[in-house]
Amino acid sequence: MNDRMMKAVLYDRYGGPDVLYAGRVPRPEPAHGEVLVKVRAFSVNGGELAARAGRLRLLTGRKFPKRIGLDFTGEVAAPGAGVTRFAAGDRVWGVLGRTSGFGSAAEYVTVPAERVGRLPDGLDLVDAAALPVATTAITALRDKTGLRPGERLLVRGAAGGVGNAAVQLGRAYGAEVTALARAANLDFVRGLGAHKAVDHRTVRPAELGRFDVVLDTVGTDLRAFRHLLNSGGRMVTIAFDLKRPAASLGYLAASTVHGHSRVRFFSGNPTRADFDDLARHVVEGKLSPAVDTVFPLEETAAAHRALEAGGVQGKYVVRVA
């Protein structure tokens, strides 16, 4: 077998999960400042579903085949020139940067060394693949909202990848956490540390009360949730309504006139410092991986199908043999 080639998940047209297949592509080589990582696992993220379905084609274009995969865990196979912090064999996790696109669903990936962090000792590489997106929750609560002990936190989409991390961190930071999730997931989010768990399909936003911080991972009905903020409250979202993208993004832009009660939109773009913080939270017991199901690489389409069906508890993880 040609060792210059590797297995990767590809798709040749936009569509449903069945467009995904395991093909072969050239194995990358690390450039200056990059590391080559032998991937052990990655997780499935909502943004990948939208990209694969063609909802983001204005950004992703029409050149095929395309790749998937945003995050990863694995071992450093080779550090590139200029990299001194990592050596071959180091256990790492990371997220491809905004300019890198997708591509971690593969046997190997190259990534700037600043986008990679060391795994804590004893943390399983497959379980750990549920945690790189937790850096988004850390950024949201630590930097974007400055969550303080004693404040009331509402997490929307609390059973998902970012949401479950936000529930755990909110509790660890000393906030009073209310988690919105499906009825079938309420026990799950309570187990993560939520003080109150609410079925989002049976309670209207106006019935939830008032909050100091709202973290939204869904992207719809943003106006209704912004109205739940106390004076001086802060709201962030990591999503927008993909069925009404222009109206949703327009509202986010217009909300900037509302001062402290505006809705701040951001996407995760973690650096080494964020991964160091993530590792510290894990070591201190503030954050644990929540893995729903592990799929083999050849069944990545099934993982996408499962996430689209809803009801995930934590993350769907794909193991790379």
The predicted-structure confidence for 277-290, as pLDDT tens digits, reads as follows 999 999 999 999 99
Inter-axis angle of helices 300-309 and 46-53, nearest 10:
100
The predicted-structure confidence for 157-176, as pLDDT tens digits, reads as follows 999 999 999 999 999 999 99
Phi, psi for 139 (deg, rounded to 5): -60, -40
209 has a pLDDT exceeding 80: yes
Domains and CATH numbers, the chain: 5-130+290-319 (3.90.180.10), 134-265 (3.40.50.720)
Q: Which of 10-24, 192-206, 255-269 has the lowest mean pLDDT?
A: 255-269
pTM of the model: 0.92
Tell me the CA distances in angstroms from 91 to 36, 80, 86, 129, 297, one per residue in order.
12, 16, 9, 12, 20
Please report which confidence band the pLDDT of residue 268 belongs to, taking 50, 70 and 90 as the band edges.
confident
The predicted-structure confidence for 214-250, as pLDDT tens digits, reads as follows 999 999 999 999 999 999 999 999 985 555 554 444 5
Instruction: Give per-residue burial for 256-287: e unless 16+ CB within 10 Å, then b.
Output: eeeeeebbebeebebbbebbebbbebbeeebb
Residue 80's CB: how many other CB atoms inside 10 A?
17
Tell me the CA distances in angstroms from 92 to 118, 265, 292, 296, one per residue in order.
4, 28, 21, 20
Residue type, 228: L
Please report which confidence band the pLDDT of residue 180 belongs to, taking 50, 70 and 90 as the band edges.
very high
